Structure 1
């Protein structure tokens, strides 16, 4: 230990000048007492924040799902309810089908496709009044609009395309088969016990129209029943909602609704 005569203080011989009486810092530094200098949330805030976060996340998921459902139903696909037996045995009363709304559009319509279309010329006649309570009608319409319920009959029908624009469709050849552009076709999708048509006809389908018939020909008020309508019974393509591509209910009958391409393979293209 040495004495500093200048300020009368004492310092260690190996200390830095001017650090009179200073002690070296301790190492490691002493820990701050727990909780000191730190803001603590009041009791109960954390669970509340967690509940608020869970609510926001759930709401976001629900809104996103609803928006996605509406977009899919509007632009891509929609479920429809089968209201009659005109398409038996392919489709039965009460079945639900999924319809591809990109056909017509990016995808073309072909002979043999099953399509849902908007009633073109009062085919359905006057619809019976809806006797359900107002709240039930409103709830059904909302859920249908969202896409959570299938579209009911309303002003929609479902049939199979037999002829497209320019085709000549007629009944029948000597064996009772329909002919398309002079070529007889064998129709494996017809309901057992029915004939291709009991009514004779011969039509040329206008451009941008299709000729539609039910698979249960004896119980289908299709294009044949509207020969006196504008277009001679043919339906404008603009009235087509989409092509049915899968039977999705009841569960034990889920199946793809394939186009019977072999039926129309030999049909020539219409003459220009």
Structure 2
């Protein structure tokens, strides 16, 4: 009788733990999705102007932010009437008060006279560094504005083509609605959009990564707990039947 009691106790404990695993898994899974939906907006990249960082057709997650949170180096989603009044994706290379110019003797972008290393300009992984711009330019960014360039500098339609407009090609910070954090498609795994360290030494530094990775782990971990907890019952019944058959044969 004591053996039966121990077995039943273990079974009840297993059922309680499996139920707890499913409950915690549901909280993590649904909570991760819900919080992600609040923080992030999905976008489809429309052009190759940000190649090779992101390419046309990539599905990306952009964190909803206020324009005041933008730092140099961020890849942002913005909408501005001068640029066609449609959402566009570009990289911020200058903020209010900056003097942005190109190129120095080594073909680099300069911000307030400081040359900026931009490793994301490497062409398609071939190891060939592009000049920061195929044409020279210089602009002073008005307060409260941002100067934006595409990573595919030879083809991008960006602040350089709006230099004669008011603001010397810059857009107001208020035009920004989100900052890219990750590429989720193609499915090569979750690829974070890194903050470039070339801007880190400038005043204000670079922005911190968003919470996309913790949210992804919460969703994946929650799914694993749900599946594991749900599988306990069928596996326990199979084990019980196997033990009864072994006892009957004995």
Structure scoring higher RCO (CA < 8 A, sep ≥ 6) equals 2
CA distance in 2, matches of 1:170, 1:266: 17
Q: Under a length normalisation based on structure 2, what TM-score does the superposition of the two structures give?
A: 0.62
The answer on whether the counterparts of 1:78 and 1:101 sit within 8 Å (CA) in structure 2 is yes
CA deviation after TM superposition for structure 1 residue 79, in Å: 0.4
Name the residue aligned to 1:188.
119
Q: Is residue 76 of structure 2 the alignment partner of residue 115 of structure 1?
A: yes
CA deviation after TM superposition for structure 1 residue 119, in Å: 3.2
* Paired positions, count: 168
Alpha-carbon displacement from aligned partner over 1:179-235 (angstroms, at most 9, x marks no partner)? 001101110011415320122111111111101001110010110011111211001
CA distance in 1, matches of 2:142, 2:46: 28
Q: Is residue 65 of structure 2 the alignment partner of residue 102 of structure 1?
A: yes
The answer on whether the counterparts of 2:107 and 2:132 sit within 8 Å (CA) in structure 1 is yes
| Superposition pairs of residues 138-217 of structure 1, within 5 angstroms | 155-192=86-123, 193=128, 194-217=130-153
CA distance in 2, matches of 1:182, 1:176: 13
After superposition, the CA RMSD in angstroms is 2.2
Higher helix share: 2
The answer on whether the counterparts of 2:67 and 2:175 sit within 8 Å (CA) in structure 1 is no
CA distance in 2, matches of 1:117, 1:94: 18
Q: Under a length normalisation based on structure 1, what TM-score does the superposition of the two structures give?
A: 0.57
SS in 2 for 1:212: strand
CA distance in 1, matches of 2:100, 2:150: 15
Q: Is residue 49 of structure 2 the alignment partner of residue 86 of structure 1?
A: yes
Name the residue aligned to 2:188.
252
Name the residue aligned to 2:201.
266
CA distance in 2, matches of 1:227, 1:168: 13
The answer on whether the counterparts of 2:184 and 2:190 sit within 8 Å (CA) in structure 1 is yes
Structure whose alpha-carbon radius of gyration is higher = 1
The answer on whether the counterparts of 1:120 and 1:239 sit within 8 Å (CA) in structure 2 is no
Match of 2:158 among 217, 222, 225: 222
Unaligned runs of 5+ in 2: 1-29, 205-250
Closer/same/farther in 2, CA of residues 253 and 222 from structure 1, 3 Å limit: farther
SS in 1 for 2:78: strand
